[in-house]
Amino acid sequence: MEFYEVIKTRRSIRSYKDTPIPEDAMGRVLEATRISPSGHNRQFWKFYIVEEGEAKKRIAEGCDDQMWIADAPAVIVAVGYNVPFSRGGYMGDMSFMMDVSIAFTQLILAARAEGLGTCWIGAFSNDKIKEAMGLPDDENVVAVTPIGYPDKGVFSENTSRKTLEEITEWVK
Ligand SMILES: Cc1cc2nc3c(=O)[nH]c(=O)nc-3n(C[C@H](O)[C@H](O)[C@H](O)COP(=O)(O)O)c2cc1C
């Protein structure tokens, strides 16, 4: 699929078919995630692919009870490692947030290219998801997404965006 078509038609999908995700499609999505760039190429991240029903429900509960998340055939939980590292002193040991977000963006766009829906979930409790999944202390949840073939939501351009004039300023 053409790159600009992918980014134009990616939408947040909140309703999924229970059709299983083919292994090769999921493999390409995870590969797109794996090759993502990171500061100093540290790659301090991990991606859990959760397919088991009860585990998906516990994660959905940890996402402010957005229970529809558990209806997707899989839920991906992206975590970053809280390793002290100063990126010019700006983000410090929170730099993993940026790295994992870049990888997660690649994941979501690759999913769209495969015809798979996702929805970036930012409303979650790190503590609740860590407890639900039994994650170690040094792993922090950065983002969650259900993944699967869309049921109702269609891939189409989202027209409710600010205009280029509103968000850009040329300095010449
Ligand atoms: C960082 C972030 C957090 C989000 N958190 C949630 C969420 O918790 N639940 C939800 O249903 N959608 C969530 N969304 C999806 C946004 O609502 C959605 O991207 C936005 O309304 C634009 O719609 P579109 O993705 O279909 O273009 C989140 C998106 C981002 C980027």
In a domain, 30, yes or no: yes
CATH number reported for the structural domain that contains residue 72 in this entry: 3.40.109.10
pLDDT more than 70, % of the chain = 95
Range of the domain at 137: 3-167
Residue 100 confidence (pLDDT): 97
In a domain, 50, yes or no: yes
Residue with the smallest CA separation from ligand 1 atom 29 is: 120
In a domain, 95, yes or no: yes
Q: Which residue ranges have their beta carbon within 6 Å of ligand 1?
A: 11-12, 14, 66, 119-123, 158
Residues 6+ apart with CB under 8 A from 144: 59, 63, 69, 75, 76, 77, 78, 121, 124, 129
HSE of 83, CA atoms in CB hemisphere, 13 A: 13
* Separation between Cα atoms, residue 82 and residue 94, nearest integer Å: 7
In a domain, 172, yes or no: no
pLDDT tens digit sequence for 47-68: 999 999 999 999 999 999 999 9
Mutate to test the pocket of ligand 1, among 6, 118, 121 (most ligand atoms within 8 A of CB): 121
Q: pLDDT band at residue 85, thresholds of 50, 70 and 90? A: low
In a domain, 34, yes or no: yes
Does pLDDT of 118 surpass 70? yes
Q: pLDDT band at residue 153, thresholds of 50, 70 and 90? A: low
Domain count of the chain? 1
